[in-house]
Amino acid sequence: MSHHKKIKSKLGDVDYILTSGIIGELFIIARGYRLGEKEFDLKKFGYLKLVGLLKKLSKNNKIKIPFDLAFDKGGKRIELRLKWLPSRYKSYDVGHLTILNYVKYIKNANTIYFKGPPGLYEKNGFDIGTKMILKAIASNSKAYKVISGGNSLDALSRYVKRAKIDYISLSGGALVKYLCGERL
Give pLDDT tens digits for 45-84: 999 998 988 888 888 888 899 999 999 999 999 999 999 9
Q: What are phi and psi of 89, to 5 degrees?
A: -110, 160
Q: Which residue has the higher pLDDT, 14 or 120?
A: 120
The residue type at 101: N
Where in the chain does DSSP place strands (E)? 17-18, 63-64, 68-73, 76-81, 90-94, 111-115, 144-148, 167-169
Q: Are 83 and 124 in contact (CB under 8 A)?
A: no
Position 64 scores a pLDDT of 92
CA–CA gap between residue 182 and residue 177 (Å, rounded)? 5
pTM: 0.86
Judged by DSSP in three states, 168 sits in strand
Q: Are 106 and 112 in contact (CB under 8 A)?
A: yes
Position 17 scores a pLDDT of 86
Q: Are 11 and 62 in contact (CB under 8 A)?
A: yes
